[in-house]
Amino acid sequence: MSPAKLPPTAKTQPPIRHERRKDARPGELLAAALDLFVEKGFAATRAEEVARRAGVSKGTLFLYFASKEELFKAVVRENISGGFSQWNAQFDAFDGSTPDMLRHCMALWWQRQGNAKVSGITKLMLGEGKNFPELALFYQQEVIQPAHLLIRRILQRGVDRGEFAPLDMKYAVFTVLAPMIFLQLLVHSNNACYDPAEATELVPEEYLASQLQILLAGLCLRPATPVTNKGNHCL
């Protein structure tokens, strides 16, 4: 998110901004890595190409990141997990209704994450997670869990404030997450799902809005188990 969170030093720099700052290196590498990981996946991305795209040599990459896996982790931290404290801060500061909060979060998420290159990381982990257990574990801890927690907090807030019916949390969290994940997949897989010819025109914002509406219809007020979709006549 913020491109100002660089691992190494971050001292006051000469104001000459047109000069390639040495301290910008890791940032450039992370940007290049994000591009390529999203484009080709983890295994198929070659370290050398990341370096080249960042304008440095192969050796330099390994100067900043101990391995390709560490590079990936840094990309995830920089672009995803780093944002959760902000998300949580906004949660604490928000004082509207919980349905509004959900709508707001979803919209924000789409702007910041879903609609950005980062969302390719989700697809990547889905596809390659099993092959790189260490990365999968890391992603679990750094992304999945915080995300689940955050969603859980939001939903719990709704329950606590009497806005939502009591929920089977495991299920409910997932129901919120599902359309988000799906949307990311869509955005990054046009070639595999559609004829380029009839390239789809699904409007993500509308898709999200409609999904939320279903969701909220299920969550709000009514008791029982709407989220689990059992006997959910409204849907």
Partner DNA sequence: AATGAATGAGAGTTCATTCAT
Partner DNA sequence: CATGAATGAACTCTCATTCAT
Return residues touching DNA (CB under 7 A).
Answer: 6-12, 15-22, 25, 45-48, 51, 56-60, 62-64, 66-69
Residue 148 partner contact from DNA, a copy of itself, none using kind-dependent CB cut-offs of 5 to 8 Å = a copy of itself
Q: Is the dihedral of CA 89, 65, 120, 10 positive or negative?
A: positive
Structure tokens at 66: 């101990």
Residue of 31, 54, 61, 68 that binds a copy of itself (CB under 8 A): 68
Residue of 57, 86, 111, 131 that binds a copy of itself (CB under 8 A): 131
Structure tokens at 74: 């840094």
Structure tokens at 121: 């990381």
- 147 and 61 Cβ atoms separated by less than 8 Å: no
Q: Is 39 in the site for a copy of itself (CB under 8 A)?
A: yes
> What pairs with residue 14 in β-bridges?
none
Residue 16 partner contact from a copy of itself, DNA, none using kind-dependent CB cut-offs of 5 to 8 Å = DNA
- 11 and 22 Cβ atoms separated by less than 8 Å: no
Q: Is 144 in the site for a copy of itself (CB under 8 A)?
A: yes
Structure tokens at 213: 């509406």
Q: Is 182 in the site for a copy of itself (CB under 8 A)?
A: yes
Rounded to whole angstroms, the Cα distance separating 114 from 170 reads 22
Rounded to whole angstroms, the Cα distance separating 186 from 190 reads 6
46 versus 161: smaller Cβ distance to DNA: 46
Structure tokens at 19: 């000069």
95 versus 206: smaller Cβ distance to a copy of itself: 206
Binding window for a copy of itself (CB under 8 A); candidates: 23-31, 34-42, 108-116, 159-167: 34-42
| Residue-by-residue DSSP string for 152-176 | HHHHHHHHHTTSB----HHHHHHHH
41 versus 146: smaller Cβ distance to DNA: 41
Residue 18 partner contact from DNA, a copy of itself, none using kind-dependent CB cut-offs of 5 to 8 Å = DNA
- Least distance in angstroms from the C-beta of 229 to DNA: 41
92 versus 195: smaller Cβ distance to a copy of itself: 195
> What letters, b where the CB count within 10 A reaches 16 and e where it falls short, cover 16-32?
eeeeeeeeebbbbbbbb
* AA letter at 218: G
Contacts with a copy of itself, residue ranges (CB under 8 A): 1-4, 6-8, 39-41, 43-44, 67-69, 123-136, 139-140, 144-145, 148, 170-171, 174, 177-178, 181-182, 185-186, 188-189, 191-195, 198, 200-203, 206-207, 209-210, 213-214, 217, 228-230, 232, 235
